[in-house]
Structure 1
Amino acid sequence: MGLDFSVVPEYAHFLWIGVVWTTVLTVSAALLAFFGGILFAMIVLYAPRLLAWPTRFFVWLFMGTPLLLQLYLIYFGLSQVGIDVPALVAGIVGLGLHFAVYNADVIRAGIVAVDPGQNEGARSLGLSRAQSFRYVIIPQAVRSVTPPLGNNLIALLKDSALVSVLGVAELVHASQLAISETYRPFEFYITAAALYYLLNLLLEAGLRAVERKVEATR
């Protein structure tokens, strides 16, 4: 029968809703992954062993298991012990924690690379240890690892498609709803792929702007 993209405009509202929820998922999970990554990195580097070792185990566990399995455990597994997590929240938490452990590894390397004299200089100016990390160490560490953090963000955007298995109406799930009414899988999956590519282009443009700004502040 061949491809017939004339059916796509009629269901454009499905795809638009999918783009909106994909954006919500990506932005929310990215914030959790960024700040969670900083927290995990700080705990692994500086917390007492009683707290550091369980965090290391958590990082190892999330790095060694598939994201899809983690989403299932958060959404379906927790409900079996009486904790009902909405699908959108489960998707954000699953994506956020999954990429937080990867960001933690990157940020940890960035913190270690900061000259120890920076901390000593901040302390000599009267800053507390927490203030030294907040205003001096962490900003420098994040600036030095901006490219790999950006790569993780791009991967997060693409992996947000996995949240469709939880019933969240992101782009893939929205495409499947349109396919269920039109029986035109190739047209809608190709359109979804093009929309993901467009979102990636926009994200990459934003990341390049951030990297240029970071370079200008060095």
Structure 2
Amino acid sequence: MPYWLDLMLQSLGPLLWAGLVFTVPLTLLSFALGLTLGFLTALARLYGPRPLVALARFYVWIIRGTPLLVQLFVIFYGLPSVGILLDAFPAALIGFTINVGAYTSEIVRAVIASIPRGQWEASYSIGMSWSQALRRTVLPQAARVAVPPLSNSFISLVKDTSLAAAVTVPELFQAAQRIVATTYEPLIIYIEAALIYLALSSVLSALQDRLERHLARSSGTLEAAA
């Protein structure tokens, strides 16, 4: 067996374990919390009072205008200087959540704003309140439009979690760095890590395609029934 293949096989277990224990949970938690934050931020910008709108715009401006790596460094290495100490995983989770929230808020805001005003008026005409109209009429339509960009954000987040290695989270990429430190084979190990990220992204892209086709069929069925 070639040396490079034997090394990759030996490294595969630790890399997959790091991905399963740290990369996947970090991605799922960050996206779920970030999407919730993004949804609330989008509602604040669309329907909130002026001070809240200004605060939401400022948050989005700051996060979208600064690198994610810098944000992680500020949270993990900067906050201890003011007495706020965080472990690596919670610090990374907070950083990714805040970052995802800013970007997904723009997606959610755009898709909600794209729903015709007539949909709101039709809901009000049958006695729905604002919250009922949002929940029962607007959000189901907006969700179908939001799936592709939100799916792309999720796939990007899987790859962005490699930055958590910079704040000592022992996820997939840091596991690769540790193996490189003992084997002195950076090319082989980093290519293997890249292939694992590629496999994860490819699976998620395939699932995204299936979900989009399902939503397209459902939308077509509803339109035909109408």
Short-chain TM bin: over 0.9
Whether the aligned pair in 2 keeps the contact of 1:17 and 1:174 (CA below 8 Å) is no
Tell me the CA shift for residue 126 of structure 1.
2.9
Secondary structure of the structure 2 residue equivalent to 1:145: helix
Counterpart residue type for residue 59 of structure 1: V
Give distance in 2, aligned partners of 1:32 and 1:159: 16
Encode CA deviations 1:79-128: one digit per residue, 9 max, x unaligned.
22222222112212211221221111121111111011212222233332
Tell me the CA shift for residue 136 of structure 1.
1.8
Higher mean displacement: 6-15 or 49-58: 6-15
- Structure 2 residue aligned with 1:110: 111
Q: Does 1:174 align with 2:175?
A: yes
- Structure 1 residue aligned with 2:17: 17
Secondary structure of the structure 2 residue equivalent to 1:168: coil
Give distance in 1, aligned partners of 2:4 and 2:98: 40
Secondary structure of the structure 1 residue equivalent to 2:128: coil
Tell me the CA shift for residue 160 of structure 1.
0.9
Tell me the CA shift for residue 3 of structure 1.
6.7
Give distance in 1, aligned partners of 2:167 and 2:53: 32
Counterpart residue type for residue 15 of structure 2: L
Give distance in 2, aligned partners of 1:127 and 1:9: 60
- Structure 1 residue aligned with 2:224: none
Give distance in 2, aligned partners of 1:104 and 1:33: 9
Q: Does 1:58 align with 2:32?
A: no
Note the residue ranges of structure 1 that are not aligned, 5 or more in a row: none
Tell me the CA shift for residue 31 of structure 1.
1.0
Give distance in 2, aligned partners of 1:141 and 1:152: 16
Give distance in 2, aligned partners of 1:41 and 1:217: 26
Give distance in 2, aligned partners of 1:135 and 1:161: 38
Tell me the CA shift for residue 63 of structure 1.
0.5
- Structure 1 residue aligned with 2:187: 186
Tell me the CA shift for residue 24 of structure 1.
1.1
- Structure 1 residue aligned with 2:4: 4
TM superposition score normalised by structure 1: 0.93
> Aligned residues: percent identity?
35
Whether the aligned pair in 2 keeps the contact of 1:26 and 1:157 (CA below 8 Å) is yes
Secondary structure of the structure 1 residue equivalent to 2:109: helix
Whether the aligned pair in 1 keeps the contact of 2:11 and 2:189 (CA below 8 Å) is no
User: CA distance change for structure 1 residues 207 and 214 in 2, over 3 Å: closer, same or farther?
Assistant: same
TM superposition score normalised by structure 2: 0.90
Give distance in 1, aligned partners of 2:62 and 2:161: 20
User: CA distance change for structure 1 residues 134 and 85 in 2, over 3 Å: closer, same or farther?
Assistant: farther
The Cα RMSD (Å) is: 1.7
Give distance in 2, aligned partners of 1:88 and 1:56: 28
